[in-house]
Amino acid sequence: MALQLTENYKGVSANYWKITDVEHRVKENRVIVLLSLYLDQQTRQADVENYLKSDELSFDGLDYTRADLYAKIKQTNKFSSATDV
């Protein structure tokens, strides 16, 4: 699972967003999600380290599946028009 949303980054048009890290902060009752932008799905499949940038998002609670996290991400302003891929 991933999200598709085009963003221009340093003159490059990229469109594939993938969760690359999840940190559970139990004491804070929060989940920190690292969402990385790749040129496209093929670039991600070829090399998981070949991302252009990452955004960090934080959500209250601890009990989330990856699908739950993608749904929460799509509720944010920046990713509200993203589509599932």
Size of the chain, expressed as the number of residues it contains: 85
Which tens digits make up the pLDDT trace of 19-31?
A: 999 999 999 999 9
Strands 53-60 and 83-84: unpaired
pLDDT of residue 52: 98
The reported pTM is 0.94
Domain count, the chain: 1
**Domain extent for 62:** 3-80
19 strand-pairing partners: 35
For residue 17, being part of any structural domain is answered with: yes
Residue 85 domain flag: no
pLDDT in tens, 49-61: 999 999 999 999 9
- Residue 34 within a domain: yes
Domain presence at residue 31: yes
On the 0-12 / 13-18 / 19+ scale of CB atoms within 10 A, 42 is exposed
